Amino acid sequence: MNLSPKDENLRLILSTVEREHIVEQKNYHKMSLIYCALIMAGEFFLGMVMPLMLVIFPAGYQYIFGLFAFGLIISFCAFLMLFPAAYHYWRYVELLKEHQKFMSKYSRA
């Protein structure tokens, strides 16, 4: 949370909620990164298997090419989503570090 220094008491009170939110968003963007990578890897393997599928099923080449084209579109969308997801994941990792530094300032241990 981006609160001004005068709100440190409020931030300290809401620290558990802030940490839960940061961790939840970090995990969400990490899963987005994993999904994007899996989609692109799946399309890569489909592209590698496509010539074999054309040899086995020569009559169904329209469907195979259609599946490959659809997969390319989905893979391109996943590629476009990869960079924002990576940026947001990195941002929440930095926010978590900043939150831990803030909490260590008020640690009673």
Per-residue model confidence (pLDDT) at position 90: 96
Ranges of each domain in the chain: 13-100
88 close to 25: Cβ distance less than 8 angstroms? yes
CA distances to 38, 53, 68 from 27, rounded to whole Å, are: 16, 37, 31
Beta carbons within 10 angstroms of residue 28's beta carbon: 13
- Whether the predicted model's global pTM rises above the 0.85 cut: no
Q: Comparing 1-5, 70-74, 81-85, 96-100, which segment has the lowest mean pLDDT?
A: 1-5
Residues 12-68 have pLDDT tens digits of 888 888 899 999 999 999 999 999 999 999 999 988 988 888 888 888 888 888 888
